[in-house]
Amino acid sequence: MANVVVLGAGLGGTIMAYELRDGLGAGHTVSVVNKGAQYSFVPSNPWVAVG
């Protein structure tokens, strides 16, 4: 059983975490560590502005 830690929850880190989860299977743990307590998915920010 592996415990993989992805540093950074930006676009690349988030995609990597999902890919690792799918590739490793249920017996392994994938954790994402980010600098802040909240995550903002930057590509969707324009949707917030226009409702």
Summarised one tens digit per residue, pLDDT across range 1-51 is: 999 999 998 888 989 999 999 999 899 999 999 988 877 777 777 777 887
Question: How far is residue 16's CA from residue 14's CA, in Å, rounded to a whole number?
Answer: 5
Per-residue pLDDT at 17: 95
Per-residue pLDDT at 36: 84
Per-residue pLDDT at 5: 97
| Predicted structure pTM score | 0.71
Per-residue pLDDT at 9: 87
User: Which of 29, 28, 34 shows the shortest CA–CA distance to 9?
Assistant: 34
Q: Going by C-beta distance under 8 Å and a sequence separation of 6 or more, which residues neighbour residue 14?
A: 32, 39, 41
Q: How far, rounded to the nearest angstrom, does the alpha carbon of residue 36 sit from its chain's CA centroid? A: 13
Q: Which two tokens stand for residue 39?
A: 């995550």
